[in-house]
A and B are shown apart, each in its own frame.
Chain A
Amino acid sequence: MDLTVIYYSIGILGILGLLAAVVLYVVAQKFKVEEDPRIEQVEGVLPQANCGGCGFPGCHGFATHCVQSDSMDGLLCPVGGQPVMSQIAEILGRAAVAADPMVAVVRCNGTCEARPRNNRYDGTQTCQIVHSLYIGETGCGYGCLGCGDCVRACQFDAIHINPTTGIAEVDEEKCTSCGACVKACPRTLIELRKKGPKNRRMVVMCRNMDKGAVAKKACANACIGCMKCQKVCAFDAITIDKNLSYIDFTKCKLCRKCEEACPTGAIHAVNFPPRKPKTEAPAAPKAETAAKPAVATEKPIVAPKAPAAEAAPTAAAAPVVTEAPAKPDTTVVTSSVETAATPAAPAEPTNK
């Protein structure tokens, strides 16, 4: 083989490459887009999840807006939270605006026991479809459907359907409060609420707007709009609209009086330390399992009920119920004792 062929081809390719490089350089210089270098810096700090939780199209859009706007008011990357925002403020040489960290809250506590299923849904497991079709498997037209639209919407694996309750639950550690689940829930159950000091907060875990008796019939844990919580609240944080109580988290001072006042246990105090060691939160799961057979829920749609529930008769659960109201502050955390109440004969642990 003739070596000159190789020399020629190398030479020609080399010249072509050089020409292309020159053209590219000239074009790049001529059409250079001046971009604020800080945008790139800010973008580097952002988590690059592109979730849109900030309200801008992706992290780049947010970074651009951060650099272009004059102050940091109202700008928050929900994923990165305060640390990221203070870093951005540092880059831009501004004072960071403190924003309360938020968390998504699923406002339903209609567990399988409290909210018996009276029919069986056999279509596509999508909340949207069930919601547009009918009331759902239970008698409550406001509660969690448990088909997991929010689970699918979450990019951070922070929300799951609890197999024992059939209700979506948020993993506070992972939740970035991006709001995707809020948009996904057809029943507007999920709300972004202030995470609160030491993650403590008060929430009305119900969205049922029916009249008290109707709500109570559908779900033992429903808010019945009795207004007791509103009366005990010293800070005007509680409003009642359409038979439903709502706690304004900007006004709530976490005094927990409303929780005591609530006759159905719809108001939950989350992440508070137990008040009395005897009836503290760790006891709750026990009571729950014992109480289970009180309401025969046949096939919860999400998962089978806890195995412990088989044989314990209703009577066994009863003492738990009667014991509970003896102490004024037993309605700790989740629906521990109320679950024993059958919808037919609701035994309400009132605080008297």
Chain B
Amino acid sequence: MKTFKIGGVHPHDNKQYSAGKAIQQVPLPKQAIIPLVQHIGAPAKPVVQKGDEVKVGQLIAEPGGFVSAGIHSPVSGKVLKIDEAVDAWGMKMQAIYINVEGDEWEESIDRSDKLVRQCALTSQEIIKKVAAAGIVGLGGACFPTQVKLSVPPGKKAEVLIINGVECEPFLTCDHQLMMEHTDEIIVGITILKKALRVEHAIVGIENNKPDAIEKMRQAAAKTTGIEIMPLKLRYPQGGEKQLIDACTGRQVPSGGLPIDVGAVVDNVATVYAVYQAVQKNKPLISRVMTVTGPSVENPGNYEVRFGTPLNDVLAAAGGIPEDTGKIIGGGPMMGRAMSNTDMCSNKRVSGLLLLPESMSVRQAPQACIRCAKCVQACPMGLEPYLLSKMAAHQMWDELIEHNIMDCIDCGCCMFTCPSYRPLLDYIRMGKGKAGGILRARAAEAKAKAEAEKAKAETAAAKA
């Protein structure tokens, strides 16, 4: 069975709490707060004003640039205001506040469950439709999907890789989506194949989900060019670069993009969203979230409209247990611990994990015993013990030399460290600093080149 070649760890997958739980709907909120930044790239620009009536699926903010995504109203009602909102980490952002009235949808949206297989659109039309639906990668990075689908000139996509790995412990939303919407996902894959003009698609699924592998296999047998590939359970298999390595054996070079090795990677949840956008005209207004944890009353998978307060989602799962110490947005390896639950759900939050206090506190760090377990675990082939020391001593240039920018924040080093050292804390800080330095250098070099060019031009003009 295939897997990626370098590093990796085996965290306990802990999926038993919410695995196999049918997707439930969370009731509509009274007020939806929809932030304008729900993706990587430029913030969206609102196209509604205070007092406007909006319907479900109506565009309320348009993309603010090439790398950006539009935002559609997940509810129907009246725009209350466009104002600052505070997210779960205390950061401020612009958001549209909508008072919910009823549940009135745009007429063009097909709300039936009927499977639509045929798709007569061309590649360009599909990409346009995906862009219009505001779809972003739902695996965690939230990169606008239409940008991924638009292959830059000079590059060629050879294989489409679908991420059904869900390597984060605790999370089960992608698994459940594959179980309940198998055919839709397969149709979605054929649409994406068409958009990218590739013949071959590989769906990577870890072998702790045998039911999903079987069901997807059966559905894929009805069409051609889709290979379901079981992968050996290993974290971080869901990382883009690791998944490409596991499925095709190609390794994306340092600083490169997947398209450099002819691969495009999309999450199953994204594929499902693409199906809905292209075949059903339904923009991205909701997602499936896992709400789980050892002491959660009703752990499960919930379909949540964006803008629903997280407190409502938590209430649907039985409320916050008394012993909760940490609430994590996402999985335990890469998710971010939240300082409050006043935020509203959005495209970025793939799950809520409630850890009891006993599991929330870190052990005191001890001296590094140079056991090299972090080096063995690092899936990018870095030396975390060294990087963290350099970052603590603020040796930015040495960090760049030691390829700190390759780090994918997966947390394997810190997970495996027997001395409980906060390796990733320092590496992440160092990465931020080193990135800033590199960007400044690039900008400086660019300015210098431009100045020289201008100089040469004036000299030429004089002559």
Contacts and interface: CB of A to CB of B under 8 A. Distances in A.
Contacts of A136: 90
B106 interface: no
A123 B428 contact: no
B362 interface: yes
A139 B425 contact: no
A35 interface: no
A335 B429 CA distance: 34
A134 B91 contact: yes
Interface stretch (A125-133, A158-166, A168-176, A309-317): A125-133
B428 A119 contact: no
A119 to B, nearest CB: 4
A119 B357 CA distance: 13
Interface string B396-427: 00000000000000000000000000100110
Contacts of A132: 428-429, 432
Given A123-B422, A124-B422, A135 B429 contact: no
A141 B91 contact: yes
Given A124-B422, A134-B91, A136-B90, A119 B360 contact: no
A122 to B, nearest CB: 5
A322 interface: no
Contacts of B340: 118-119
Contact of A122 (B92, B362, B429): B362
A277 to B, nearest CB: 43
Contacts of A118: 339-340
Interface in B354-374: 360-362
A4 B451 CA distance: 78
B426 A124 contact: yes
B89 A129 contact: no
Contacts of B361: 122
B422 A135 contact: no
Nearest to B421: A124
Given A129-B428, A132-B428, A141 B360 contact: no
Contacts of B360: 122
Interface in A103-134: 118-119, 122-124, 126, 128-129, 132-134
Contacts of B336: 133-134
Most central of B90, B336, B429, B432 by chain A CB within 10 Å: B90
Nearest to A210: B92
Nearest to B360: A122
Interface size, A (range): 10 to 19
B362 A129 contact: no
Interface string A198-222: 0000000000000000000000000
Contacts of A135: 89-91, 339
A126 B426 CA distance: 9
A141 B426 contact: no
Given A118-B339, A118-B340, A123-B362, A129 B429 contact: yes
Interface size, B (range): 10 to 19
A242 to B, nearest CB: 12
Nearest to A137: B339
Contacts of B429: 126, 128-129, 132
Contacts of B92: 141
Contacts of B432: 132
A141 B339 CA distance: 13
Contacts of A126: 425-426, 429
Contacts of B422: 123-124
A119 B339 contact: yes
Given A123-B362, A123-B422, A134-B339, A139 B90 contact: yes
B90 A134 contact: yes
B90 A141 contact: yes
A314 B361 CA distance: 32
A134 B92 CA distance: 11
Nearest to B388: A124
Interface in B331-349: 336, 339-340
A139 to B, nearest CB: 7
A32 B94 CA distance: 67
A298 to B, nearest CB: 14
Contacts of A119: 339-340
Contacts of A139: 90
A134 B89 contact: yes
Interface string B27-65: 000000000000000000000000000000000000000
A308 to B, nearest CB: 29
B310 to A, nearest CB: 15
Contacts of B91: 134-135, 141
Nearest to B90: A135
Interface in A178-197: none
A133 B339 CA distance: 11
A125 B141 CA distance: 27
B316 to A, nearest CB: 24
A128 B426 CA distance: 9
A343 B86 CA distance: 18
18 contacts: A118-B340, A122-B360, A122-B362, A123-B362, A124-B426, A126-B425, A129-B426, A132-B428, A132-B429, A133-B89, A133-B336, A134-B89, A134-B91, A134-B339, A135-B89, A135-B91, A135-B339, A139-B90
Given A118-B339, A124-B422, A129-B426, 5 more contacts: A124-B426, A129-B428, A129-B429, A134-B91, A135-B90
Can you list the 4 inter-chain pairs with the closest CB atoms, starting with the nearest?
Answer: A135-B90, A134-B89, A124-B425, A119-B339
